Amino acid sequence: MKCPYCDSDDTRVIDSRPTEDGHAIRRRRGCEHCGKRFTTYEKVEESIIMIIKKDGRREAFDRNKVINGIIRACEKRPVSLAEIEQITANIERGLNNLMEKEVKSDFIGELVMDELKKIDEVAYVRFASVYRQFTDANTFIKEIEELLATKKN
Q: What is the mean pLDDT of each run of 10 residues along the chain (153 residues)?
A: 94 90 88 96 82 93 94 94 93 87 92 92 88 76 80 69
Nearest to 72 by CA among 19, 110, 112: 112
Question: Which pLDDT does position 7 carry in this prediction?
Answer: 95
DSSP H helices, the chain, are 63-73, 81-98, 105-119, 121-131, 137-152
Question: Which pLDDT does position 46 carry in this prediction?
Answer: 67
